[in-house]
Amino acid sequence: MATPLGHALAGLAAGTAASGGRTILGPWQDLVFFTVVALLPDLDFIPGLLTGQNYHQGPSHSLLAALLVAILCGLWGRTRGHGWLLAWCGGVVCLSHLAVDYLTLDKLPPYGLPLLWPFSPEHMTAKHAIFLDVKRHSLTWAVIAHDLKAMAWELLLLGPLAALALWLRARRRAKG
Ligand SMILES: [Zn+2]
């Protein structure tokens, strides 16, 4: 898994690209929407905190879950007059989460993502990871330093993409 920073940056870039840079819900509301949807799959941490078992990188990291998120975004967006557009953007942002996790080094079982769940239990991960793994077993200085390095790497790779997307979005807004 990548850090929330990496997912948020990828989500901002993917959501802005999917929307063609246009404003849907509002100038900052769109950015909140993209960020929240980008972090949704990692809510599978919560049951584990309550039960002590690890449910992370389960069904919420599948293509079916991305489709479900798209449908839910569409249903929510219908009440705001942007059903199809929000479904499309929500689905693309959710896929950006899966893409970043797929490209992240995974040193904890289950290795990779169950992308084809429930049709296949296989967990898939890239042969050559781009992003560093996140350590979370103990809060030592070595672990904190490693995770800060992982965040810096994500910022370096995804920050320019997010910045470019937001710049193009701001330019489109300025043109009206
Ligand atoms: Zn994830």
CA of 90 to the centre of ligand 1 (A): 15
Alpha carbon distances (Å) from 84 to 23, 69, 71, 104, 175:
14, 13, 9, 30, 24
Arithmetic mean of pLDDT, 116-120: 96
CA of 61 to the centre of ligand 1 (A): 6
Backbone dihedral angles phi then psi of residue 113, each to the nearest 5 degrees: -120, 145
Give the model confidence (pLDDT) of 89-115 as tens digits.
Answer: 999 999 999 999 999 998 888 899 999
Peptide bond into 118 cis (omega under 30): yes
Cross-strand partners of 104: 131
Cross-strand partners of 163: none
Mean pLDDT of the chain: 93
Give the model confidence (pLDDT) of 47-92 as tens digits.
Answer: 877 887 777 888 999 999 999 999 999 999 999 899 999 999 999 9
Model confidence at 157, pLDDT cuts 50, 70, 90, reads: very high
The answer on pLDDT for 161 being more than 90 is yes
CA of 96 to the centre of ligand 1 (A): 10
pTM: 0.93
CA of 7 to the centre of ligand 1 (A): 8
- At 103, list the tokens: 């490209």
CA of 26 to the centre of ligand 1 (A): 27
Q: How many domains does the chain have?
A: 1
Q: Which domain holds residue 40?
A: 4-175
